[in-house]
């Protein structure tokens, strides 16, 4: 798993001082970007090659509340790698605690500039393969 950290800013919270539910998906996006960096790649490189990874499915299971100024730790891994799609899984907690605040999953299709499905580039698949079984 790759770890990313983010501090909750006031603008991420609702009137009760709790992180607004949709912001967890932004934290997942941050973690995905850090995952690619940790593996020696980036979304930007992939997009320069005319490949894009839009989210086609997303879920989040909330188990506790993050609040303003919490330092969050997001653990990310690729749980499935297919020819033209991949799945990331996430665990989010306060850095200082073991209690999981939420878990999530995003499924991404690999598409070309025209929006049609294409094979994940072999270089990217090899980079990700170390953490996920290839289907």
Return the active site residues. 14
Cβ partners under 8 Å of residue 102, min gap 6:
24, 60, 61, 62, 63, 64, 90, 91, 92
Residue 13 token pair: 């919270």
Maximum Cα–Cα distance across the chain: 46
Q: What count of Cα atoms within 13 Å lies in the side-chain half-sphere of residue 114?
A: 3
Q: Cα dihedral sign for 33, 37, 41, 45? A: positive
């Amino acid at each position: 798993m790759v770890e990313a950290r983010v501090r909750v800013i006031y603008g991420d919270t609702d009137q009760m001082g709790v992180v607004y539910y949709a912001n967890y998906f932004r934290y997942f996006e941050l973690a995905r970007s850090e995952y690619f960096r940790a593996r020696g790649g980036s979304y930007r490189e992939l997009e320069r090659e005319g490949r894009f990874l839009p989210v086609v499915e997303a879920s989040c299971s909330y188990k506790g509340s993050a609040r303003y100024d919490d330092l969050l730790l997001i653990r990310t891994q690729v749980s499935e790698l297919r020819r033209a799609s991949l799945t990331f899984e996430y665990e989010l907690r306060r850095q200082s605690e073991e209690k999981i605040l939420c878990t999530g999953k995003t499924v991404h299709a690999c598409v070309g500039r025209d929006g049609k499905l294409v094979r994940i580039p072999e270089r990217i698949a090899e980079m990700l393969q170390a953490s996920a079984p290839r289907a």
